[in-house]
Amino acid sequence: MPHRQNTLSPFALLFGVIVTIALVYSAVNYSIDRDRDTNLTSSIYIKDLLERKINLLNEVIHSMRTLFDVSSYVNSDEFRLISTDLLARHPYVLSTNYLPLVTSERKNIFEEKMLDQGFITFAMTQLRGGKIVSAQERTRYFPVVYREPFTPLNARQLGLDYLSHPTLEKVINKAIDSSTAVTSTPIKFGSADRELIIFKAVYAGKDTPPTVEQRQKTVNGLIALHIDASALLTMGTDDPNKNLQLSLLPDSNSDVTIGVAAYGQAMQQNSYKVIKQFSHSFTIQSEEQTYVLSISEPLYWTNIKLTLPVTALLTGIILTTFLVMQMRTIIKREEDLEKRNEEIQAVVLLRTSELEFEKERAQTTLESISDAVITTDSSGNIQYMNPVAESMTGWEEKEAIERPIAEVFNITHQNKKIYIKNPVQECLKKGQVIQLKGSVNLLHKSGKSIAFESAASPLTDKKDEIIGAVLIAHDVSDARRIAKLMKHQAMHDSLTGLPNRALLFDRLKQTLLRAPWNKKCVALMFLDLDRFKVVNDTLGHNAGDQLLCQVAERLRNELRDGDTVCRLGGDEFVIILRDIAHQNHIEELAEKVVAILRVPFQLNGTEFHTSASVGISMYPQDGQDPDLLMKKADTAMYRAKAKGKSTYVLYKEEMGRCDANSLNRETELHHAVERD
């Protein structure tokens, strides 16, 4: 044992040293990664700041164009007002300019007009060799007429034709063709060393022409913003360690960029060693213009924070010490483990005997319960069936063992007689409990069907892997039969077997919903028996019930397939006639109904004569609501009774007005009696 202790201690020490070195190395790399993330975050901030400034420039030049769109003429005061606010909010904007389109035919007229407006030195000019000279003859010009800020130093640039500049000509045509803001490449044009000029075309009318040809024909002028590229890049950026490079991608089909501005300093050349050079490149898309921003920053040894590496070193030392101490206790623990292993083996023998007893008890329980229980392996082959399962399926356990569950436990739809997938198969596939309820039957081996409900649950081992499934099924034949009977009783008249009021309104709603698609009418007959009270008073209620049943049978036999006859209560019946092509068909059916009820009835050996009064309302002319159609059919039925009974009446609108007038007269008479 001492020899083993001497072997394990150096091993623990060596392992601790290796872990310490790995911790320190990881800490240094983590610090570098953290600095990289910080650098990326600050670089993204600079990119977002620059992107916002570029987008703001586009919004500004668009708002200036809106000024020209909403007004047929913009004078210098209006231009100066909006430009002053723009220059104050955006210091990197050097100047704002408006360049109207002047054709060669109107050049002289335009110069005279500008002279008349007070520009005594105005003339159309162009740049040549860095000097302003008279403009050469061209098809069209874009001279400066408004410039802010306007100073004596730039007064000579009034009338300067930007289209004559070879670098700007392509940019101007692109701005006109695309109707978007287009930025020029850096040029030396004014006070700044490198200027960017953003152009936005102004067209005749408020809407932008849809085609390039129309844009070239209807362009009125240009708005031009002179941008100090260096100020645009550096404004808001105060990190001296970062090197910034802004480039412009003049053509989307080319990878060659043009440098716009740069900011930063060269890498320090001193005794400090550079660990890492962080570099990021971002693309900024603004309408049809693409900018490329490159940001780089060196990481020096002096920038690394030593807190984390030192912490890692101390942690490694503590861990090494802990490992050496732990190794000295391992041998003592091994002795304890051997002793406990012997005790565990004794416990296992005891638990094994207890498990065998529990298994026998579970077997007895499964054979005693009233539900069918079937277990399968992971392939769905039967491994066990209790006696109830044998009774429900018609299969004995010995002949069902190792057979597929779907062969023994056949499931069909209650009405359609089609086979349904066994829940055990779905349970094994998904690894979850699958319940099966509703309109399903179990097909007994003899061929009979048994209504049932079941649930299949997966069986798993200690590794949570599925090793089989258990299916529990319960016979619900009696419950389903009772539920079906109760549903029928709730929706049908107990005396005649006809649909009752609830089922009547349900079918009427469904019929009215389908009626617009069939493009046919729906008729509602409200039928009331005449002299029904005489039957109850003279022959008794049993005879009255016989009469109602015979009336129901005659109406059922007389109606077409798809029509519905219902009993509302008492001696009132309602008939729904659908798919009526013409009103004559309704009258023919109504005459048949009245006629068959005139035929004498046999009640307890006594011949009895009765008849019926029928009121008819029609969809859609009398209404599109079930309650309204019922009300109007009822009104028509009472009108039939008033005509002498044993007849039918189709509802008409004046019936409703007459009923309303009668009700008003009764109300007035009631108030008159109260006043007297």
Check residue 232 and give its pLDDT. Answer: 77
Tell me whether the omega of the peptide bond preceding residue 143 falls within 30 degrees of 0, making it cis: no
CA dist., res. 463 & res. 637, Å (int):
77
Q: Which residues contact 132 (CB under 8 A, 6 or more apart)?
A: 125, 126, 156, 157, 160
DSSP alpha helix (H) spans, 166-270: 166-178, 212-218, 229-234
**Helix 76-89 vs helix 2-70: crossing angle, to nearest 10:** 170
Q: Is 231 exposed, middle or buried (0-12, 13-18, 19+ CB in 10 A)?
A: middle
Give the mean pLDDT of 14-36: 79
Cβ contact 312:26 at 8 Å: yes
List pLDDT tens digits, range 239-287: 667 778 777 776 666 666 676 677 666 545 554 567 777 788 888 877 7
pTM: 0.44
Share the mean pLDDT of the chain.
80
Q: Using one digit for the tens of pLDDT, what is the confidence trace for 53-76?
A: 778 778 778 877 777 776 656 677
Q: Hey, what long-range contacts does 593-602 have (CB within 8 A, 24 or more apart)?
A: 593/525, 593/527, 593/555, 593/558, 593/648, 594/646, 594/647, 594/648, 596/554, 596/555, 596/558, 597/529, 597/551, 597/554, 598/646, 599/554, 601/546, 601/547, 601/550, 601/551
**pLDDT over threshold 70, residue 387:** yes
Percent of all residues in the chain with a pLDDT value above 90, rounded to a whole number: 12
Q: Among candidates 149, 126, 155, which has minimal Cα distance to 138?
A: 126
Give mean pLDDT, residues 659-670. 49
User: 39-43, 170-174, 183-187, 326-330: which range is least confident on average?
Assistant: 326-330
Structure confidence by residue, pLDDT tens digits, 590-621: 999 999 999 999 888 888 888 999 999 999 99
For residues 32 and 165, the answer to whether their CB atoms sit within 8 Å is no
667: pLDDT confidence band, cut at 50, 70 and 90? very low
Instruction: Give the chain's domains with CATH numbers.
Output: 8-264+273-318 (3.30.450.350), 374-482 (3.30.450.20), 492-675 (3.30.70.270)
SS (H, E, C) 241-296: CCEEEEEEECCCCCCCCEEEEEECCCCCCCCCCEEEEEEEEEEEEECCEEEEEEEE
Give the range with max mean pLDDT: 170-179, 484-493, 571-580: 571-580
At residue 673, the pLDDT reads 45
Higher pLDDT, 309 or 430: 430
Q: Is the pLDDT of residue 396 over 70?
A: yes
**pLDDT band for position 82 (50/70/90)?**
confident
Highest mean pLDDT (candidates 64-68, 141-145, 185-189, 437-441) = 141-145
The closest of 409, 302, 309, 331 to 24, measured between CA atoms, is: 309
- Given pLDDT bands bounded at 50, 70 and 90, which one contains residue 214? confident
Judge if the upstream peptide bond of residue 620 is cis by omega within 30 degrees of 0: yes
What is the distance between the alpha carbons of residues 398 and 249, in angstroms, rounded to a whole number? 82
The pLDDT of residue 662 is: 54
Q: Please compute the mean of the pLDDT values over residues 444-455 and round it to a whole number.
A: 80
pLDDT digits (tens, 9 = 90+) for 321-337: 877 777 777 767 877 78
Nearest residue to 383 (alpha-carbon basis) of 367, 400, 362: 400
